[in-house]
Amino acid sequence: MSALGRHVLVEFFGCSSEILNEVSTIEKAMIQAAEDAEATIINSTFHHFSPYGVSGVVVIQESHLAIHTWPEFQYAAVDIFTCGDIINPWVAYDALKAAFEAKQGSSIELRRGQTDLLERVDFNLNQDRATKEAELKPTYKREVWFTDRDDNIALSIRHKGELLYNETSAYQKVRVYDTYEFGKMLAIDNIVMCTEKDEHNYHEMLIHVPMQSHPNPKNILLIGAGDGGSARELIRYESVEKITQVEIDEKVVEASKLHFPDLSSAYGHPKLELIINDGIKFVANSSSEVYDLVIIDGSDPQGPAEGLFSTEFFKNVHRVLRPGGVLCFQSESPHCNGKAFIELNQCQKDIFGKEKVHTYLAYIPMYPSGVWSFMYASKGEAHPLNINDSTTNTFARKHRLRYYTADIHRAAFALPTYVKEMIGERE
């Protein structure tokens, strides 16, 4: 039976879950399979989805190879569609079965476009398809995408395909990608932590808002913050005597030291003591009234960071703050994690008192929705708007800050109506 194309529908069972969840490895295997079959590659696009799965397609001059994976079921569904008689799709099949370490493959070959069912018409006879294809000389365009996704929203960024760092610690997957638009990017469990291009927005707002408004912060406790960005901002203050940083995962520190020299530049500074430990336990076991400032720079409320959002933890933070001390922490996106945002706000008001809790926003392009919130809770008289604009701006200029100024500081506390409504602060 003569046909225009051969379409092999494939199911691979018992594959390696690790491989099926690794977008770069999948992309390479699909490209290699196409090359093994002597196809001409036009372009490719691959996406990783959190928490699991990869989708992708390699467009070849002779049609396409497509895949979707379910690592949690060790299963991959693959389409291999080739036109013409030269390419053998079964070569690609064998290559992929080996690459995914599949225990079993099941497949069916369909003949697409049976010629006895088709009637050829006089279409563009002056330039038939074969001649045109020979003239096209395709250049291969590669697309590999990282996707930070939850149930309702996904944000994708294109990267160069290679993983610069890829370690699975006892707690989480720590990875560094090289993206086209935002430079190097640190991701934990497929959630964007920071990128070279926009990390300043986050770290400057988390650190300088409390540092510029606390009258004399000397002893500081930093929870999480393994990439080092928060410590880098704190170290700028000569008045700071001691920073104790408690990070649970040394792999995050390692990834940053290897790939983010600017972010990690404070590591090794004599005022900074890095303790690899669980911040929740550290605070629970700490003496009372020790710190002027506590900063919590963790991930989203899942995995090892979940306990950093609990009432019990925040009660302990309140206890370890000196009278007059300030707590400042990232409090998620009001758009994408409104529940956590509201609960965090209520929790602080219950612990510190309604008038002592101040919410502010900053623009972080690579976090879901781009609008990110922080909370400032004061155990005493410190107020976030008590800054000296001239001193603040001199500091910002001296340190060549990228985002933070006195105007940005003040403006950050001007909340949109819908955010005020969420936290019961609408006048």
Catalytic amino acids? 297
Scanning residues 226 to 245, which ones bind ligand SPD (CB under 6 A)?
A: 227, 229-230
Scanning residues 314 to 353, which ones bind ligand SPD (CB under 6 A)?
A: 330
Q: How far apart are CA 121 and CA 306, in angstroms?
A: 65
CA distances (Å), 316 to each of 274, 293, 361, 374, 382, in order?
Answer: 20, 13, 25, 19, 19
Please identify which residue in 22, 249, 292, 297 interacts with ligand SPD, judged by CB under 6 A.
297
Residue 225 as a binder of ligand SPD (CB under 6 A): the answer is: yes
Residue among 100 and 367 whose Cβ is closer to ligand SPD = 367
62 within 8 A of 40, measured Cβ to Cβ: yes
Q: How far apart are CA 173 and CA 164, in angstroms?
A: 13
Q: How far apart are CA 329 and CA 340, in angstroms?
A: 13
Residue 204 as a binder of ligand SPD (CB under 6 A): the answer is: no
Residue among 20 and 246 whose Cβ is closer to ligand SPD = 246
Residue 286 as a binder of ligand SPD (CB under 6 A): the answer is: no
**156 to 195: interface string for ligand SPD, x by CB under 6 A:** -----------------------------------x-xx-
Q: How far is the CB of 324 from ligand SPD (least distance, A)?
A: 26
Q: How far apart are CA 244 and CA 272, in angstroms?
A: 6
Residues that bind ligand SPD (rule: CB under 6 A) add up to a total of 13
**SS (HEC) of 265-317:** CCCCCCCEEEEECCHHHHHHHCCCCCEEEEEEECCCCCHHHHHHHCHHHHHHH
On the 0-12 / 13-18 / 19+ scale of CB atoms within 10 A, 144 is buried
Q: How far is the CB of 333 from ligand SPD (least distance, A)?
A: 7
The residues pairing with 155 across neighbouring beta strands, listed in sequence order, are 148
380 within 8 A of 362, measured Cβ to Cβ: no
Residue among 5 and 301 whose Cβ is closer to ligand SPD = 301
323 within 8 A of 355, measured Cβ to Cβ: no
Residue among 147 and 299 whose Cβ is closer to ligand SPD = 299
CA distances (Å), 322 to each of 25, 216, 288, 310, in order?
Answer: 51, 12, 8, 21
Residue 247 as a binder of ligand SPD (CB under 6 A): the answer is: no
Q: How far is the CB of 179 from ligand SPD (least distance, A)?
A: 16
Residue among 69 and 337 whose Cβ is closer to ligand SPD = 337
Q: How far is the CB of 115 from ligand SPD (least distance, A)?
A: 54
Q: How far is the CB of 55 from ligand SPD (least distance, A)?
A: 22
Q: How far is the CB of 227 from ligand SPD (least distance, A)?
A: 5
Residue among 94 and 306 whose Cβ is closer to ligand SPD = 306
Q: How far is the CB of 341 from ligand SPD (least distance, A)?
A: 12
Whether residue 51 is preceded by a cis peptide bond, meaning omega within 30 degrees of 0, is yes
Please identify which residue in 93, 146, 367, 404 interacts with ligand SPD, judged by CB under 6 A.
367
Instruction: Please name the residues in contact with 337: beta carbons below 8 A apart, sequence gap of 6 or more.
Output: 300, 301, 368
The stretch near ligand SPD (CB under 6 A) out of 19-27, 93-101, 221-229, 320-328 is 221-229
Q: Could you identify the residue written with the tokens 């409390």?
A: 210
The stretch near ligand SPD (CB under 6 A) out of 149-157, 223-231, 277-285, 350-358 is 223-231
Q: How far is the CB of 340 from ligand SPD (least distance, A)?
A: 11
193 within 8 A of 186, measured Cβ to Cβ: yes
DSSP states along 28-41: HHHHHHHHHTTPPE
Q: How far apart are CA 176 and CA 255, in angstroms?
A: 7
Residue 22 as a binder of ligand SPD (CB under 6 A): the answer is: no
Beta pairing class for 242-247 and 272-276: parallel
Please identify which residue in 44, 299, 316, 331 interacts with ligand SPD, judged by CB under 6 A.
299
Question: Footprint of ligand SPD on this chain (CB under 6 A)?
Answer: 191, 193-194, 202, 225, 227, 229-230, 297, 299-300, 330, 367
